[in-house]
Chain A
């Protein structure tokens, strides 16, 4: 069983946010619109967070793309009353949209704030409706349920089926999420953390590797390679 993980090289990332855009197109996240976004209701499964220190002109900026961290010890799944969110065998934290009761306990439990809630039924401005991903697994979610980055789990399923159809074994390099595929700076890597020969595994052990909020013990599977 692969244990899916991601590595993001902060030296290579220049915060173009194509990953954020690609994720939206791939996963059919709703467009909140300027008013709702102003209120804080934008749904961005992948978000680029600016961490700025100091005062102009002595500012240090660290720009961190932040997908779901797919923790190995997720605080979010512990608190779900109906197991609508759970850790699958390959390490992906999934959400069952049919079962979610919308209590939002998981959203407040996540220390990374990576979970989003559908405050209204999703809508898209006219031109974008023509570009919705037809994959049923990324079908727009109804109002009242929680959603979040799934490491593009629909691509994993497609890759597994492809491998099956072609009569070859499914390997961990057969699928990558949309953000990794799109990254302009080739800063994102994805693969099996349990395979010592995989790129992500080697990078995760690099001296530059770090994880967000590591002290909390959530054991996130998204590693960042520090700048410099």
Chain B
């Protein structure tokens, strides 16, 4: 049984055809990704020397990308898991779009790490000789578990809709039909199945919430567990976590606006979603301010020599331009926009969200590089500089292109708004009615909602 959703045809429309525009988009994105891949192969052959990294800047753009993409992934889990636990039912239309961001940003976070390894063919050494004393092993475990869980969380939420497509979509290519049949694994939509599904999603939402907190904290501990000034701070876990949730939620805003426009989903992704996200974003932006003040006031007040070299370079030295640009992009402009211009205005919300994400990328860079440039023993020598090369820049572009490509393909294969979760009556109500209602609704679907008729 499929819960009746009056917008079913509208939501399914993008899935029904792949047009020339799609093929051009995919070719374009795929092309960028392939260029990146080619440059990576060149890097494999020649060595990491093709990047701008050096001593003391051993970690640069690749690690920045790793942190950034893992941070983006927190968007999905925040919307679908944390808000679910908090009982915020307004989030229902957003959940799949947000989870898809998670699903498709994590692989590129991992790819960024692989790109950064000196001997990537020895990756399995981590399994054969792994030391749990190392923060990198915690990373491996946490991110691995997060990725696995995100795939399953997405899959479980997708199940009823896959079954819906299996049953409703008859005029799609055979391979696509077969794919839905297989992926639906015999889902029939019986009350007992829905009941169990809801319970599993509730449980997983709690687990994913804990995982989200763990993952980004553990990512930050790769830096926090060293003794380097600027990194070795107890605040680094919460700092990274909040940054991830901020950039992730902004990514959701951007993606939502794109989907609305591209697939005419204004009816199912209404303006009030943006208003709800706006309130959250104001909170998170202010939270970011809190973290920044807590970190820099504490370190600056202490006035320890090594810390001050790093802080001064950010506030007024080599990295001042980037540092203050970050403040403008992450805080000053977006906060003003969110508060004064964002209400009922998607354009401004998207503008501010894009700024935030650019600023957050800069923030990750600002956390990583200045500390390396001013190592304890060498800072006085004024050594250390880092200029990323075109290899790093193009690889970064290819990560974004790859993520966009996977996302775009996903939206053509699966409904980006969950049909069963935004049904006219929620699953809880239907289960309470004993499953009678959806059986009746299933047999009295208005003609307009029948696939093929509305096209």
Contacts and interface: CB of A to CB of B under 8 A. Distances in A.
A contacts B: CB pair < 8 Å: yes
Interface of A: 36, 39-42, 49-52, 66, 75, 78-84, 99-105, 107-109, 111-113, 116-121, 142-146, 212-213, 216
A143 B377 contact: no
Interface stretch (B11-19, B43-51, B73-81): B43-51
Instruction: Output the residue of B52, B123, B377, B383 with the most chain A CB within 10 A.
Output: B377
Interface residues of B, number: 46
A79 B135 contact: yes
A144 B227 contact: no
Contact of B377 (A42, A99, A120, A213): A213
B376 interface: yes
17 contacts: A40-B57, A49-B377, A78-B225, A81-B125, A99-B122, A99-B125, A101-B123, A102-B119, A103-B116, A109-B226, A109-B228, A113-B378, A116-B55, A117-B118, A144-B117, A144-B118, A144-B119
A143 B54 contact: no
B375 interface: yes
Contact of B134 (A40, A78, A111, A121): A78
Contacts of B122: 82, 99-102
A36 to B, nearest CB: 7
A143 B47 contact: yes
A119 B131 CA distance: 25
Contacts, number: 141
A78 B133 contact: yes
B54 A213 contact: no
A102 B125 CA distance: 11
B130 A81 contact: yes
B49 A41 contact: yes
A112 B226 CA distance: 12
B59 A82 contact: no
Contacts of A212: 377
Contacts of A66: 377
B109 to A, nearest CB: 15
Interface of B: 46-49, 52-59, 116-120, 122-123, 125-126, 128-131, 133-137, 140, 222, 225-228, 372, 375-378, 380-381, 383-385
A113 B49 contact: no
A40 B383 contact: yes
Nearest to A113: B375
A100 B136 CA distance: 14
B55 A82 contact: no
Given A80-B131, A113-B55, A119 B376 contact: no
B118 A105 contact: no
A100 B121 CA distance: 11
Given A79-B136, A101-B120, A102-B120, 20 more contacts: A40-B385, A41-B55, A50-B381, A52-B380, A81-B131, A81-B136, A81-B140, A82-B130, A100-B118, A101-B122, A101-B123, A101-B125, A109-B227, A111-B377, A113-B55, A113-B378, A116-B55, A142-B119, A144-B47, A145-B118
B372 A105 contact: no
Contact of B131 (A40, A82, A107): A82
A8 to B, nearest CB: 15
A108 B125 contact: no
B227 A101 contact: no
Nearest to B113: A103
B58 A108 contact: yes
B56 A143 contact: no
Contact of B376 (A84, A121, A213): A213
B48 A81 contact: no
A111 B136 CA distance: 18
Contacts of B125: 81-82, 84, 99, 101
A48 to B, nearest CB: 12
A81 B225 CA distance: 13
A80 B136 CA distance: 8
Contacts of A82: 122, 125-126, 128-131
Contacts of A103: 116-118, 136
The 5 closest A-B pairs by CB, nearest first: A102-B118, A144-B118, A119-B49, A40-B54, A143-B47
Given A101-B122, A101-B125, A102-B117, A108 B59 contact: yes
B383 A120 contact: no
